[in-house]
Amino acid sequence: MRARGRSTVGEFFRATLGFPAVLLTFLLVVCVGYWLLALLGALDIDDDAGDLLGSLGFGGVPLTIVLTLVIVVGWFLSLVGTVLTQGLSTAARIGLGIVVLLAAIVLALLVARLLVAPLRRILHSGPSVSRADFVGRTCVIRTGTVAIDFGQAEVQAADGSSAVVQVRQTGQDDLRAGQTALIYDYDTDGEFFWVAPVETHLKD
C-alpha cells in the first residue's frame, strides 16, 4: 500500500515536470510565492486588470487574480495533457505537447472570464449604486480607445467606490486610455454609457 502511494506521488511529480506542464508549473510556483508574500503584507495586490485584459472582459478585477486563475486552470489542463501523452515517442510528445499547451491557455482564458463576473461583484460589494448616479460624472478611459461599439472606463461613485463600465461615443473624438471623459447619458437597451471629452461639454 505504501509503495503504491509513493509510486503515485512520484508519477504526479514527474508529470508536473514533464512537457508541457513544466512551463506552467514554474508559473504556478511563482503565483504561490506571490500570494504567500501578499498574505504576509509584503506585496500589494494590483488594482486593475489593465487595458488589454480589460478589453477582453477582465476589467474590474485585479491583474494578479486574473493571471492566477489563468495559470491555475491552464496548469491543470496541461497536466492532464502531459499524463495522456506519456508513453509516446519524443517527437510525438513534443508535437502534441505544443497543441495541449495552446489549448490549455485558450480554455484557461475562457474559464477565467466566466469566473471573473462573480468575482467582480464580490470585490465591488457594498451599497448599491444606481447607474443613473454615474450620469454627469467624469470617468477615466481604461481601453486603448472608445468607439461607437467598444470601450470601457472607470467611474467613481459618490460613496467613493469605483466601477468599470461599458462606454461608447457617437463622434470621432480621440479618447484613449488614461484620458478623462464626461458621462452624459445611459443607454438602457445596450447597457452602456455615452461619453465625450470633458472639453467638448465645457465649450457648450
Q: Which residues pair with 141 in a beta bridge?
A: 153
Task: Provide CB contacts within 8 A for 168, sequence distance 6+.
Answer: 146, 147, 148, 149, 150, 151, 187, 190, 192, 193, 194, 195
Please give the Cα distance from 141 to 26 (Å, whole number): 34
**In the chain, what are the domain boundaries?**
2-123, 131-203
pLDDT category, 28, cuts 50, 70, 90?
Answer: very high
What is the fold of 131-203?
OB fold (Dihydrolipoamide Acetyltransferase, E2P) (2.40.50)
Residue 106 in this model has a pLDDT that exceeds 60: yes
85 HSE (CA, 13 A, CB side)? 25
> Each residue of 63-79: pLDDT tens digit?
788 889 999 999 999 99
Residue 163, pLDDT score: 82
Residue 46 in this model has a pLDDT that exceeds 60: no
pLDDT averaged over the chain? 80
The better pLDDT of the pair 43, 158 is held by 158
Pairing verdict, β 138-141 and 152-156: antiparallel
Give the position of cell 480554455.
Answer: 107
Lowest mean pLDDT among 33-47, 95-109, 146-160, 168-182: 33-47
Residue 175 in this model has a pLDDT that exceeds 80: yes
Please give the Cα distance from 55 to 142 (Å, whole number): 8
